[in-house]
Amino acid sequence: MVKADLARIVYEAHGGISYREAKDLVETMIERMKSSLVEGDNVKLSGFGSFNLVSRKGRIGRNPQTGAQIELKPSKYVTFRASRIVKF
In this predicted model, what pLDDT tens digit does every residue of 34-61 receive, in sequence order? 999 999 999 999 888 999 999 999 999 9
Query: Does 32 score more than 80 pLDDT?
Result: yes
Same domain for 24 and 5? yes
Closest of 60, 54, 61 to residue 75, by C-alpha: 54
Cα dihedral 14/17/18/24 (nearest 10): -90
Whether 80 and 48 map to the same domain: the answer is yes
Global pTM exceeds 0.85? no
Tell me the percentage of the chain whose pLDDT exceeds 90: 84
Whole domain around residue 71: which residue ranges? 42-88
Same-domain pairing of 31 and 51: no
Residue 28: pLDDT band by 50, 70, 90 thresholds? very high
